[in-house]
Amino acid sequence: MFAAMAAPVNDPEHGFCRDCLTLQRGRTMRCERCGSPRIVRHPELHKLHIAHIDCDAFYAAVEKRDNPALRDKPVIIGGGKRGVVSTACYIARIQGVRSAMPMFKALEACPEAIVIKPDMEKYVRVGREVRAMMFALTPQVEPISIDEAFLDLAGTEKLHGLPPAMVLARFSQAVEKEIGITVSAGLSYCKFLAKIASDFRKPRGFAIIGKEEAVSFLADQPVTMIWGVGKAFSEVLARDGIRTIAQLQKMERSDLMGRYGVMGDRLYRLSRGQDDRRVEPDHDAKSVSAETTFDTDIATMDDLVPVLRALSEKVSTRLKKANLAGRTVVLKLKSQDFKIRTRNRQLGDPTRLADRIFSTGLDLLRKETDGTKYRLLGIGVSDLSDDGKADPPDLVDMQSRKRALAEGAIDALRDKFGRKAVETGYTFGKGHRGRPSRPDEDEGPEVQHPWERI
Ligand code: TTP
Ligand code: MG
Ligand code: MG
C-alpha cells in the first residue's frame, strides 16, 4: 500500500498526512483523505535522513498506559528519599511541574497530582521494546538514553517503500498502537538539529529542520539550545553580552576560540548549523558504564565496595550482550558537594569480565577513599572494540582464568534463571546503604557519547 506513494513524495510540493500517511498533492490545510490537520510539508522532505526520536513523558506515559484511570489526571513519577521529580505527564507540566524539581515544590504547583514511585525494570523493558522497533527500521540506531535515539535512515527508502519522513510517521503510529505510549520525532540533515526538532512540537510531535532554514531558525534561539551550553556556561556567555545564537553567528571563529577555547569552535560551528557527527550505532559507542546514587552519602570501602562489584557486573553483562570489550576502566565519583572525580586506568588488553573491571576499579577507588563522602559511584570501560581480542587466556593469570570460566557459568545461570538467582560474595546481602534512592540512576548512562568530536 505504501510503495505506490514512494515516488511522488519526492516532489517538494507534496506533503503527507501523519495520520493516514496519504500523499497530499494539493495545498489544503487538512488531509485530502481523512481530514486530519496533521499534514507535513517541507521543501527538503525527501533529502533529509538524520532522525532523533524521544518518548513523551516516558515514565509517566508507561504508568498511564498500565492504568487507564490515570489518563486524564496529572501524574508525577518520582519520590524516594531525595524526593525529586523524575518526570511529570504533560497535564502536570501545564501547572509548572518539571523533571528534577523537589517533590514538595511540585506538589505546591500541582497539589492534586498523583505521585508514583518509579518502576525502573518496567521502563527499561519498554525502552528496549521501542529500541527494537527502531532497529527494524535501520541498523543505524544510536541510543542516547532509555527513551531516545538517533537514527540514520539514509538508504532505507527501498526497504520501506517510503522516504524517511514517512517512515518516521509510520513508526510513531506503530509505537502508539503496539506499545501504547507516544513519541516525538525530528528530522534534519544533522544530529544537532534533529534533536532540537524532536523537542520542538512535543508531545506526539514531528518537526523538520532543513538546510535552507537552519541558520535563520537558529538565529532566533537562545545560546542554551547549543549542546554543551548549560547553566554555568550560559552565564559566562551572558557576562560577555551573548544571549542569542544570532550573536554567535556574527562572530569570527578566531574570536570565539580565543575567548572560549575548543568550546568556541563548537559555538562557531553549531550556531551556523554545521555538525558532521555521524550516527554511531552501538558498537561504535565510546563507553559502557553503570552508576548509582546513594540514599545517604557514604565514604568507606566497606560501603563502597559492594556497590562497585554490583556495577562492575552490570557493565560486564552489557559488554557481553553487545559483544564489546573495553581497554580503559573508568571510575566516577561524585562527592557530597557535587564535585565529580573520574579516574581511569588502561589495561594491557581489552576486557569484558566483571572481575577485571572490578579489581581495576577497586585499585582506583582505594586512592579516593580519603574520608570524602560520596553521593554517586560509577564504573565503566572505554576504548571499546569488539570482544575478539578480549581477555586472552595466555595473558590472564591462572586465577583470573578460573574466574573467567566461573563468570561464564554464572552468566549461563543468570540467562536461565534471572539476575537475582546468582549473587557473588561481594553483593550478596550487602550494599543496603548503597542502594540507589532513584532506581533510574541505577541504570546509569547505558552508553555514553561524549561530545568531544564536535
Ligand atoms: P526525558 O526524555 O528527558 O523526559 P521525558 O520523556 O519524561 O519527557 P519529554 O521527553 O516528553 O520531555 O527523560 C526520559 C526519562 O528519564 C523520564 O521519563 C524520566 C527520566 N528522567 C529522570 O529520572 N530525571 C530527569 O531529570 C530527567 C530529565 C529524566
Ligand atoms: Mg522523553
Ligand atoms: Mg529523552
- Write the pLDDT tens digit of every residue in 163-217: 999 999 999 999 999 999 999 999 999 999 999 999 999 999 999 999 999 999 9
To 10 degrees, what angle do helices 354-366 and 301-321 make? 150
Q: Collapsing DSSP states into helix, strand and coil, what is residue 433?
A: coil
Q: From ligand 1's centre to the CA of 320, what distance in Å?
A: 27
CA of 302 to the centre of ligand 3 (A): 35
Measured torsion, CA atoms of residues 428, 429, 430, 431, in degrees rounded to the nearest 10: 100
Strand partners, 51: 151, 187
Highest CATH level, class, for 58-121: alpha beta
| Closest protein CA for atom 24 of ligand 1 | 86
Question: Whose alpha carbon is nearest atom 22 of ligand 1?
Answer: 86
Q: Which residue positions in the chain have pLDDT lower than 50?
A: 1-8, 284, 395, 425, 427-454
Predicted pLDDT at 272: 98
CATH fit for domain 215-271, picks 3.40.50.300, 1.10.150.20, 1.10.10.60, 3.90.45.10: 1.10.150.20
Active-site residue identified among 148, 291, 441, 446: 148
CA angle centred on 44, ends 39 and 49, rounded to 5°: 95
The per-residue pLDDT for 196 is 97
pLDDT of residue 227: 86
The DSSP secondary structure of 118-133, one letter per residue, reads --HHHHHHHHHHHHHH
* CA 248 vs CA 253, 255, 265: distances in Å: 9, 10, 11
pLDDT of residue 362: 96
Return the pLDDT at 377: 95
Angstrom distance (rounded) from CA 234 to CA 174: 39
Instruction: Confirm if 210 and 188 have CB atoms less than 8 A apart.
Output: yes
Per-residue pLDDT tens digits for 284-318: 457 889 999 898 899 999 999 999 999 999 999 98
Report the run of H or E that residue 371 belongs to, with start and end: none
Question: Among 194, 238, 246, which Cα is nearest to 221's?
Answer: 246
With beta carbons less than 8 A apart as the criterion, state whether 24 and 15 touch.
yes
What per-residue confidence (pLDDT) applies to 3?
40
The grid coordinates of residue 246 equal: 544570532
One-letter amino acid for residue 219 of the chain: A
In degrees and rounded to multiples of 5, residue 36 shows phi and psi of -65, 145
Task: Report the alpha-carbon angle 383-384-387, nearest 5.
Answer: 135
**Domain spans in the chain, listed from the N-terminal domain onward:** 58-121, 215-271, 282-448
**pLDDT at residue 444, as a whole number:** 38
148 carries an active-site annotation: yes
What CATH number was assigned to the domain covering residues 282-448?
A: 3.30.1490.100
In angstroms, what is the span from residue 353 Cα to ligand 3's centroid?
30
Strand blocks (E) in 56-121: 75-79, 84-88, 114-116
Binding residues for Mg(2+): 54, 147
